[in-house]
Amino acid sequence: MKVLIVGGVAGGASAAARLRRLDERAEIIIFERSGYVSYANCGLPYYIGGVIEEREDLTLQTPESFRARFNIDVRVRQEVLSIDRLKKEISVCDLQTGRVYRESYDKLILSPGARPVVPDWEGTENGNVYTLRTVEDALCIREAAVREGVRSAVVIGGGFIGLETAENLRKAGLCVHLIQRSSHVLPPLDDDMASFLHAHIRGKGVDLRLRTDVEGFEKKGDGVRVLLRGNPPLDADMVVLSVGVVPESSLAERAGLSLGEKGSIAVDAQMRTSDADIFAVGDAVSVPRLPTGERSVVALAGPANKQGRIAADNIAGAGRAYGGSSASSVLKVFDMTAAFFGLNERAAKAAGKAYDKVILSPASHASYYPGGRVMTVKVLFERETERILGAQIVGFDGVDKRLDILSVAMQAGLKISALAALDLAYAPPYASAKDPVNMVGFVAQNVLEGKVKQCFFEDLPALAADGKFTFLDTRTREEYAAGHADGFGCNIPLDELRSRLGELDKSRPVCVMCHSGLRSYLACRILSQNGFDCYNFAGGYRLYESIRKDRFDADLATDCGMPRGKKGRSS
């Protein structure tokens, strides 16, 4: 059997290695347009910043190592021009010599990836405007960033690559401007959760500009001028475009294969295209997106590797199916970590989901053990079924662990209330006896059982306009004096609440806030059992301060309203 693979990197290289493990006799050839067949695509920004020092560290496999270990013929700088499905041949151009030749196949795997979006703006051909997708791109950007006299850069786009590139250019010593067209960076997050990143990014010296449109570029001396709609232009030494990617499906389209969402290559659960002898994997295909099952493009390395393996299994006769992707993702943003999967609120509304949500701010590990930091966790779920729809976590240590547990819980079909009973590893340096994932379950149980009613940041204007609500802050006097939410004119510390109930009007509903949502929940339990109609402000003042004031407290010192060293132990 002769198998040709178009494209290496994650999906193609994974398919080739798996197929060899299953079939020692198969003839396997990989065609790669760039000069690198298997490289750490996700590591490219870190090479630009010098975190990864040597270019060789980006290369996972070379043509020589593929030949030596797997007996696979890898041909780099070879561009596949066309597919003749009737003759079962491909046409290939050797980019080094210009020679065009043909190669036959029994099975064909397409792993062409995606290409960067380059908007139709004036001046994109400027030599100081770059995109980042391949090793060659990273080499060019790093070389440009360390040139003598290069001091500033504009990064356009606040997605994965844009944020990582901005961070690493900043680490390389450049003055960095980050431009995002929408209201917040990292679009899979909701606005409230992204606000923590905004504060952190600006705190690291990056000029973050939201709701800003780019109109084009002009030559400015040895640099480039970025033209902004309704704003003065920005002058910089270099620009990195990172406004998204689109599936590289032109080869499949020319071959008459069926296409799917956003021009992607349509595949079935076996990763087979509309031609039974042609498979496709990776960033160029559309797959079911969990939890809805709607098909979409998931441009992530993890799914691409799994799809490559499944395509190889099916070619070898093993018979496997790809069940879809929750698009679980994690991202380092300077010292912070952002992670998410599934649906955000915008997507949940678009899907017509009747959802509820919980927002809490637990510690990364036991508060009495040094070094703990606060994370903010937001989980969406269907109230009727308790099905988990998606989660977002922004914080420092331990974010990835909790996100993975929540993602597995969704994929396994666990109800959100079942999280309360999960038996998770605990030791003070790593977690709390009540892990943040357990806390999500506890809060959800309270909401579902009616033990607490919630209100959210977006509810505050309507509650204030209603004119009937009392807005109560239950933090300490010192915390309140240091800063409090607009309209929360009543401050009664939690530990004084029982003795001061007479100061509150029982005929008025009460919206209660504290630092993280814990003390306000305890206050709501006291108030509701004393005849008050009470609503807990989810996320607490910490979330409010991040959204409204572009800053937040990452320390544990005020999390329980007790001085450090006097907090209650839960072990």
Phi, psi of 363 (to 5 degrees): -85, 155
Strand stretches in 334-436, DSSP E: 336-342, 355-360, 376-382, 388-395
Q: Can you tell me which residue has the tokens 């807990």?
A: 536
- Check if the beta carbon of residue 388 is closer than 8 Å to that of residue 379: yes
- Check if the beta carbon of residue 213 is closer than 8 Å to that of residue 198: no
Structure tokens given for 231:
């704003």
Q: Name the β-bridge partners of 395.
A: 337
The pLDDT of residue 251: 98
The pLDDT of residue 554: 75
Q: How far apart are CA 213 and CA 215, in angstroms?
A: 6
pLDDT mean by block of 10 residues, the chain; 571 residues: 95 96 98 89 92 87 92 97 98 98 98 95 94 94 93 98 97 97 97 98 98 96 96 97 96 98 97 98 97 95 97 95 97 97 98 97 93 96 97 97 98 98 97 97 97 97 97 98 97 98 98 96 98 97 96 64 37 29
Active-site residue numbers? Answer: 42
- Check if the beta carbon of residue 76 is closer than 8 Å to that of residue 37: yes
pTM of the model: 0.94
* Buried b / exposed e along 526-562 (16+ C-beta atoms within 10 A): bbbeeebebbbbbbbbbbbbbbeeebbbeebebbbbe
* Number of C-beta neighbours around residue 446 at 10 A: 20
